[in-house]
Structure 1
Amino acid sequence: MLTSFLCFLHIVGTREKEGTELKQIIYDQYDLRVERKQRVRQFDAFWSNRVLYIMVPVAHLEAEEIDELQKISDYMIRTHKDIYVSSFVKNKNETYTTEIEGRQMALFRMPYDYSSRQLVVGKELAAFHTHARNYPAKVTAINRIGQWKSLWVKRVDQMESFFREKVRSNPVDVFDTQFVESFPYYLGLTENAIQYLVDTELDDSPMMNDAATLCHHRFTDLTWQQAQWMKLPTDWIFDHASRDLSEWIRVECRKGKDMNHAKIQAFLQDYERVSPLSSFSWRLLYARLTFPIHYFECVEDYYTSGPVADKKWHEDRMKTILQSSTHYEQLLGNFYDLAGVPAKSYGIPVLDWVKK
């Protein structure tokens, strides 16, 4: 008991010391006094003079990417008065990144709490895309427009090679077995997505609303921290708007029998009231929805997580994906009907093998 108590005191003392050191670093680097700490999403945040600040790791971003993200966020705040965009905070060295506890971090000033406002996600997303589409400068560092095919091909080629190695060495645990047994199906789905994308780019033409805009790496209901409506620049990437639409819908589709069709319909209708989608947009959305990025990420996360990984958690995650595959396939087969898109009159094809 005494040993446990002493360990507890040591942990508490260490945390208090770290907290004190962090407060000093924030004061030294930003001239801000940490009054109260909290967590926002998975990040450390603190209050100072009635303003909430959030610290975000940015080691994965190149200097050019941070520069573009800062300029675009400033544009969204100043030109379009987007009160929900979190703004970069400069340190005393007049830079936007600071080394804190061995990590490169960026500090953001959070928007004021407008949580009493009832915003509609689809409508707000469409306005966000429309405003960002008018950004006057050329975007290069965070640009991903037109790169889906090459990225998808590279990804599936790497995983197919890994799959062959696993088959030769024989599966040794539960996740190995799940992966080896399921990969051929998802390989086929991926090939369909790539071909659908290629056909779209050959057979259809983009319209004005198909120009590149600010998107998110993975847009979901939680991305904007809706209790406070926070738009965080480190989430952003420059791409086609259908990226955000498809990733939001993907999360709902993966709920299997709990999928809410009415919620998907409302989301798309709310978006189109502000920014109508062309047939080119619908086809890109469908291609991305077909590409099983959630499966790829699950496999990649497991095999790169190292020996301390919670294997059971990863196995359950994979199991959930596999169990929802039938419902996901049904959604792909009936997607245009669900979305209210007259696919035939638009000349939009549907994957024959999933059409029920």
Structure 2
Amino acid sequence: MFEKNIYDQYGLYCDEKYQFGQYEGFRSGNRYYVLMPSLRRHDHLWVQLEWAERLKVKGVPQIAELVTDMGGNAVTRVDGVQQLLFQFPEEEDRSGLSEGETLAMMHESGKGWVPEVNDLHLYGHWLDFWETRIEQLEAYHRTVDQRFQKTAFDQQFLYTFPYYLGRAETAMQWLVEEGHEHTLSPYLGTVNHTRFKPGAWMVADENRTQVKLPLSFVYDHPARDVGECLRHCYEQDDLALATEFLEAYTRGQSIQPQMWALVGARLLFPLTYVELMEEHYLNEGTNEGRSEVEEAQFEQLLEREERYMKRMSQCLLDTLPGASEGHWFMRDRAFIY
């Protein structure tokens, strides 16, 4: 069915199917393609495609291109799902840049392209977003606390929430006091990713590495990508990868004091915890098997929390003395990490 859909809609023969992370893809001749569900409105898509073209003009290598179907449509139904087809670049990657260097190049090249689509414009809005999400978790907490029958997940949520609430409030306080988000220059925003981490870019073969997919692009401060990459490294307890990334990134871009403060706020904000709670309580009772998976994820998150905070704290102590002289981070506070 997949192969027939691809030929009927695009006139392409599927010579070999691939799995690129969570997405299906295929090879047709010597070209590689990947299908992605169409989740955003078309106005989002056209902005992201415009960013992709501008980045290519600026010399950023290996950016995937949208393929329209034989009727000229961007969105096509494949296997019963509305999807977008992207083609990997045909040329080899001769840039010689590492992942961190390429990200720095993207950030520098993408400055100032402010979208008119609000959902893609995240720059300067972290505090609002974080407050909204924490308020939602507080509502879940009140609901769960009033239940007569509580699951093991519920019990863990009630037990851990005060600690993670404290972490979130600390992150938001830091965002204001040290990051000065409300005074950010309008010229520092650039093309970022929804959630960047090492290996976020796709690889078809050794010649077509670090392929960037436009659907992951958002407009934000570069601290977003740097912070999320470090979050992943510290959650995986991979200090070598974190160091390698930072060294590579700073070869292309210096990290200024305010940017370090914003990175610190992102690392302190318990995004992984918040996302897991949202996923569980928004979809509660819909799939028993998924609940078991989420319980296992919860246990893993709690097991690595102390190690994560140790790695994150050391990173900030190493950088803040040179950035803000460490006063905010090192002075006594009425909270527990």
Q: Shorter-chain-normalised TM-score: which range?
A: 0.7 to 0.9
Q: Take 1:188 and 1:115, find their aligned partners in 2: how far apart are those partners? A: 45
Tell me what 2:219 maps to: 238
Counterparts in 2 of 1:266-277, with a 5 A limit?
Answer: 266-277=244-255
Tell me what 2:131 maps to: 153
Q: 1:235 offset after TM fit, Å?
A: 1.5
Tell me what 2:191 maps to: 214
Asked whether 1:64 is paired with 2:43, we answer yes
Counterparts in 2 of 1:221-232, with a 5 A limit?
Answer: 221-226=198-203, 228-232=209-213
Specify whether residues 191 and 342 from structure 1 end up closer, same or farther in structure 2 by C-alpha distance, changes over 3 A only: same
Between stretches 82-91 and 219-228, larger displacement belongs to 219-228
Checking the alignment, whether the CA contact within 8 Å between 2:224 and 2:266 is kept in structure 1 is: yes
Checking the alignment, whether the CA contact within 8 Å between 1:333 and 1:355 is kept in structure 2 is: no
- SS of 2:328's partner is coil
Q: 1:339 offset after TM fit, Å?
A: 4.1
Asked whether 1:129 is paired with 2:110, we answer no
Q: Take 2:212 and 2:321, find their aligned partners in 1: how far apart are those partners? A: 30
- SS of 1:126's partner is helix
Asked whether 1:88 is paired with 2:66, we answer yes
Specify whether residues 27 and 263 from structure 1 end up closer, same or farther in structure 2 by C-alpha distance, changes over 3 A only: closer
Cα deviations by residue, 1:189-208 (Å, 9 ceiling, x for unpaired):
11111111122354996468
- Determine which structure has greater relative contact order: mean sequence separation of CA pairs < 8 Å that are 6+ residues apart, divided by chain length: 2
Checking the alignment, whether the CA contact within 8 Å between 1:206 and 1:280 is kept in structure 2 is: no
Q: Take 1:249 and 1:71, find their aligned partners in 2: how far apart are those partners? A: 28
The number of equivalent residue pairs is: 328
Q: Take 1:238 and 1:139, find their aligned partners in 2: how far apart are those partners? A: 10
Checking the alignment, whether the CA contact within 8 Å between 1:215 and 1:237 is kept in structure 2 is: yes
Tell me what 2:9 maps to: 29
The structure 2 residue matched to 1:179, chosen from 139, 157, 161, is 157
Checking the alignment, whether the CA contact within 8 Å between 1:126 and 1:275 is kept in structure 2 is: yes
Specify whether residues 203 and 274 from structure 1 end up closer, same or farther in structure 2 by C-alpha distance, changes over 3 A only: same
- SS of 2:297's partner is helix
Q: 1:129 offset after TM fit, Å?
A: 1.1
- SS of 2:146's partner is helix
Q: 1:139 offset after TM fit, Å?
A: 4.5
Mark the runs of 5 or more structure 2 residues left unpaired by the alignment. none
Asked whether 1:251 is paired with 2:266, we answer no
Checking the alignment, whether the CA contact within 8 Å between 1:43 and 1:54 is kept in structure 2 is: yes
Asked whether 1:140 is paired with 2:140, we answer no
Cα deviations by residue, 1:19-41 (Å, 9 ceiling, x for unpaired):
xxx33332232222222222111
Cα deviations by residue, 1:261-286 (Å, 9 ceiling, x for unpaired):
34323322221221112211111111
Cα deviations by residue, 1:292-331 (Å, 9 ceiling, x for unpaired):
0000111122233422433332112111111122122223
Tell me what 1:318 maps to: 298
Identity %: 25
- Between structure 1 and structure 2, the one with the greater Rg is 1
TM-score by length of 2: 0.87
Specify whether residues 35 and 264 from structure 1 end up closer, same or farther in structure 2 by C-alpha distance, changes over 3 A only: closer
Q: Take 1:265 and 1:326, find their aligned partners in 2: how far apart are those partners? A: 20
Checking the alignment, whether the CA contact within 8 Å between 1:206 and 1:281 is kept in structure 2 is: no
